[in-house]
Amino acid sequence: MAPVACEFAIPSRPKAISKESPLSKKPVYTLVDELPNKGLTIMSLKALDFAVPGAWNNLTGFVNTIKEVTGETDEALIKEIGDRAITLYNDKSEGYQKALWLYQTVDSASSALGTGMIANKATENISFLGLINKLTPKPEKAQSFDLTVKLVVELVAFCQINGIPGDSIGDFLGAVKDYGGESLMRMAALVCYDGLVPLGPSFAEKGLETLKQSSASDLDHNKTFKGVKELIPGDRDKGKLAFITESFESVQDWMLGFVGDRGLTQDKVVTSLSKAVDLSQDKLEYLGAFLDVGTNYYEHTGVQTLTRRLVERAAAEV
Site of interaction with another protein (CB under 8 A): 1-5, 27, 29-30, 33, 61-64, 70-74, 77, 79, 82-84, 86-88, 90-91, 93-95, 161-164, 171, 175, 178, 180, 309, 312-313, 315-318
Distance of closest approach, residue 313 Cβ to another protein, in angstroms? 6
CB of 9 vs another protein, minimal distance in Å: 17
Answer for the pair 111, 292: CB distance below 8 angstroms, yes or no: yes
Q: CB 51 → another protein: shortest distance, Å?
A: 17
- Based on CB atoms, which residue is closest to another protein, 75 or 282? 75
Q: Which is nearer to another protein, 86 or 118 (CB)?
A: 86
Q: Name the minimum Å distance from CB 33 to another protein.
A: 6
The rounded distance, in Å, linking the Cα atoms of 132 and 287 is 9
**Nearer Cβ to another protein (186/313):** 313
Q: Can you give the three-state secondary structure of the chain, one letter per residue?
A: CCCCCCCCCCCCCCHHHHHCCHHHHCCHHHHHHCCCCCCHHHHHHHCCCCCCCCCCCCCCCHHHHHHHHHCCCCHHHHHHHHHHHHHHHHCHHHCHHHHHHHHHHHHHHCCCCCHHHHHHHCCCCCCHHHHHCCCCCCCHHHHHHHHHHHHHHHHHHHHHHHCCCCCCHHHHHHHHCCCCHHHHHHHHHHHHHHHHHHHCCCHHHHHHHHHHCCCHHHHHCCHHHHHHHHHCCCCHHHHHHHHHHHHHHHHHHHHHHHHHHCCCCHHHHHHHHHHHHCCCHHHHHHHHHHHHHHCCHHHHHHHHHHHHHHHHHHHHHC
Q: Which is nearer to another protein, 103 or 286 (CB)?
A: 103
Minimal distance, residue 171 CB to another protein, in Å: 8
Q: Whole-angstrom Cα distance, residue 57 to residue 192? A: 19
| Min dist. Cβ of residue 180 to another protein (A) | 7
* Beta carbon nearer to another protein, 180 or 260: 180
For the CB of residue 25, give the shortest distance to another protein in the complex, in Å.
Answer: 9
Which one, 27 or 130, has the nearer CB to another protein? Answer: 27
Distance CA 125, CA 148 (A): 29
**Shortest separation between residue 181's beta carbon and another protein, angstroms:** 9
Q: Nearer Cβ to another protein, position 91 or 235?
A: 91
Nearer of residues 118 and 164 to another protein, judged by Cβ: 164
